[in-house]
Structure 1
Amino acid sequence: MKTIRHCFICDLKDDPKLIAEYRAYHKEVWPEIIQSIKNAGIVDMEIYLHANRLYMIMEVGKDYDAETKAKNDAENPKVQEWEKLMWQYQQAIPSAKPGQKWVPMERIFKL
């Protein structure tokens, strides 16, 4: 299966206690969140952390549509609960648009 890679960036609040809590939540992501990710056509997802900066790498299949995922997430109470909880730890990067959490990154090199 051919996939398309998307990369995003987001920051955490620069507080060691909050960062530790955020890491703990991501060791046991709620099953409803995992299912919503898979249902959206996301084949694989990884989040990396450096200091308080997060990098998300997302591999999507041909069925993935960002607008449909956003609509479905907005209508899913468990996803909304998770997003509200995560926003206690996250903060927008300086270049984010109002209301934007995860900002897409531009690939500038590929081997």
Structure 2
Amino acid sequence: MKRYCLTLDLVNDDQLIESYRQYHQAVWPEIKESIKSAGVEELEIYLLGNRLFMIMDVNENFSFEAKSKADLANAKVQEWEELMWKFQQALPNSKPGEKWKIMEQIFELK
């Protein structure tokens, strides 16, 4: 199993951050299914201030390219992404429309 760690910022507004939290307490079933069907086995999101950190454990069938393609063809996922973009803001040096950025692992204690 492969692990990816990604980060993203939210708009630094307490009310928007609270709304974002609430949406993630009741993620739409279609969104959960699209994540699982892409090969994501486990996914966690953490919040500190307005910074998000996501840990994604994926199986051998997962690829970001295939997930992106499937998401573009899924109207419910597009609706969710459009809604979430109201709360999210791109990190510095992001390409236009780029959200979550893959982090580089620099240490591991075994």
Deviation of 1:78 (Å)? 0.1
Q: Which residue of 2 aligns with 1:91?
A: 89
Q: Which residue of 2 aligns with 1:82?
A: 80
1:17-44 per-position Cα deviation (integer Å, ceiling 9, x unaligned)? 0000000000000000000000000000
User: With structure 2 as the length reference, what TM-score do the two structures score?
Assistant: 0.97
Greater Cα shift, 71-80 or 92-101: 92-101
CA distance in 1 between partners of 2:4 and 2:73 (Å): 23
Q: Which runs of 5+ in 2 are unaligned?
A: none
Deviation of 1:97 (Å)? 2.0
CA distance in 2 between partners of 1:11 and 1:19 (Å): 10
Deviation of 1:96 (Å)? 1.5
Moved over 3 A (4+): none
2:11 to 5, 10, 13: 13
**Percent identity over the alignment?**
55
CA distance in 2 between partners of 1:37 and 1:72 (Å): 10
1:47-66 matches, cutoff 5 A: 47-66=45-64
**Secondary structure, counterpart of 1:44 in structure 2:** strand
Q: Which residue of 1 aligns with 2:38?
A: 40
User: With structure 1 as the length reference, what TM-score do the two structures score?
Assistant: 0.96
Alpha-carbon RMSD: 0.6
Q: For residue 75 of structure 1, what is the amino acid of its counterpart?
A: A
**Secondary structure, counterpart of 2:106 in structure 1:** coil
